[in-house]
Amino acid sequence: MTAIPISDPSPKRTVFFQDLGFRPYAPVWDLQKKLQQELIDRKISREMSVQRNDAALGGYLLFVEHPHVYTLGKSGSPHHLLASPDFLAQIQAEFVPIDRGGDITYHGPGQLVGYPILDLDLFFTDIGRYLRTLEEAVIRLLAGFGIEAGREAGYTGVWVNGAKICAMGLKCSRWVTMHGFALNVNTDLSYFSHIVPCGIADKPVTSMQNLLGHVVDPQQVKHQMRAQISQLFGIRLQDGLPVQV
């Protein structure tokens, strides 16, 4: 496996962190767009300045758990949603077409969703490396729980024995990211049967609970994920957002 380089930790970039708890999808999507635009505005201001600010804000990291929702990326097919509007209402799930790349995926209770909103100009301007670094953070986290995970050739995300345990998707504007990863911790996997997950018909999905045979402490998962992202991106996480949420 190709080694994933760790970003230069000197100087460490400050990234504001917020665990949003249990929130509907749309307001968090709006918050992502607000934070992304703020970083873009900062970047434009910095580019116009004669003297570069080496203490520039690296970005934001949001953790959240969503109610049942299916999101469809710009390159996805609406035919990959296999449920009717009436059935979605029965299972209390939303369907939301969104602005990230990729196809359809599911978010719901028992899943750790992470949204890194980072100015990659302050880290590395390489989308492939960015995704591989996020994957590496998840792979290392899972190893700490005794789960041997890895990558599947030709696919994004993190896999265990051919089953996807973590999906990823992003939107990048002026090298500022939004959207991110969805790690199945204690997720009800039956909700994936109502879609073609990520547009891949022949690959199953799994979860940490499914693999370990017991409910996993979500706070422990969040703590370890914070640590892995902080190390791999060479960032200093500061609790709380400097904006109202």
Active site members: 198
Strand partners, 166: 158, 183
Tokens of residue 92, six digits: 């209390």
Is 1 annotated in some ligand binding site? Answer: no
Closest CA to 38 of 171, 178, 236, 232: 178
Q: Are 100 and 222 in contact (CB under 8 A)?
A: no
- Order the strands of the 13-22 sheet from edge to edge: 158-160, 163-168, 181-184, 111-118, 59-65, 13-22, 235-239
Indicate the SS3 state at residue 70: strand
- 217 has binding-site annotation: no
CA–CA dist 230, 61 (Å, integer): 10
Q: Which residues contact 167 (CB under 8 A, 6 or more apart)?
A: 105, 156, 157, 181, 182, 197, 198
What SS3 state is found at 232? Answer: helix
The answer to whether 106 is a known ligand-binding residue is yes
Per the annotation, does 128 bind a ligand?
no
87 is in an annotated binding site: no
For the chain, the straight-line distance linking the first and the last C-alpha, in angstroms and rounded, comes to 40
182 marked as binding residue: yes
Contact 208, 142 (CB under 8 A): yes
Residue 60 among known ligand-binding residues: no
Residue 130 annotated as binding site: no
Has 101 been labeled as part of a binding site?
yes
168 is in an annotated binding site: yes
162 marked ligand binding residue: no
Residue 199 marked in a binding site: no
Annotated binding site for substrate: 100-107, 167-169, 180-182
Which residues belong to the annotated binding site?
100-107, 167-169, 180-182
